[in-house]
Structure 1
């Protein structure tokens, strides 16, 4: 129930309990809280048993934890034979390494310089536009527009 409470949080709760209830009443409060938690658990277990008995014998293996979407998906992925076969046939690491090898080989054998392609007389036109990936050069000082504080 309290799986995610660390030591610092536990110490903080104890100190707050001592400050709020005092050292004399704290053991009684702890007993009352644990009794209340036991009653809630007993009520929950009896409600689960009632639901199972109402559902009938075809749901005897039904677990309420399966209603959690993460648990349901994990269970379906591990128990379904068709999905197991797909998971074993598809190796993501191998696919990624194949793709990265193909990209590296295409970069290594990239298109030769434009003069070589023009000399070879290839049918593909050379790209003659600005390189949009490069940052444009700063304009010369005389080309810069003046800053007008009144215009802004």
Structure 2
């Protein structure tokens, strides 16, 4: 319905209003509330018109809904593509970047990127004697995949 009020809730509000104000005063209360709502609407409409008139002709297409940060960002960043944001978003592939970093950390060979600026090739440096070729990989009993112990007091 309106204001996210369902039909059952509306019936409950009407019954509550009849119980609180009584059937005698209820029509007068409804008239007073309707008059108050009309006055508030007239006041807000006149305030909007005053603000538009004071801003001048350069702000003739100004909408107050644009002051909401979500609407402002949607209108100015997503609809207008003056900055080329769509090309930047389409060229950035987070999954590919993360897989390249993971491959580099694990010592796997990185596939050649389409352009040289996208991802530098990983080169394996010669390891000193006695050192493993992959310094980032854990070895021994501590390398098992058990989660760390949970400490309820720390959280």
Following the alignment from structure 1 to structure 2, what is the Cα–Cα distance between the partners of residues 131 and 4? 54
TM-score by length of 1: 0.59
1:11–1:91 CA distance, 2 compared to 1 (3 A): farther
Deviations 1:100-146 (A, max 9, x none): 9x69xx8xxxx9xxxxxxxxxxx5378113345337xxxxxxxxxxx
1:128 has 2:140 as partner: yes
Q: CA, structure 1 residues 22+75, in 2 after alignment: closer, same or farther (shift >3 Å)?
A: same
Higher helix residue share: 1
For 1:62 and 1:24, the matched residues in 2 are separated by: 47
Does the C-alpha gap of structure 1 residues 76 and 30 become closer, same or farther in structure 2, counting only changes over 3 Å? same
Residue 89 of structure 1 deviates from its aligned partner by 6.0
Equivalent-residue separation in structure 1 for 2:146 and 2:56 (angstroms): 70
Larger Rg: 1
Q: How many residues align?
A: 120
Indicate the RMSD between aligned Cα atoms, in angstroms. 3.6
Distance 1:6 1:77 in 2: 36
Q: Which residue of structure 1 lines up, in the alignment, with residue 112 of structure 2?
A: none
**TM-score normalised by structure 2 residue count:** 0.58
Structure 1 unaligned segments of length 5 or more: list them: 112-122, 136-152
Map Cα deviations across residues 72-122 of structure 1 (whole Å, 9 max, x no partner): 111113431235x43366359x9477579x69xx8xxxx9xxxxxxxxxxx
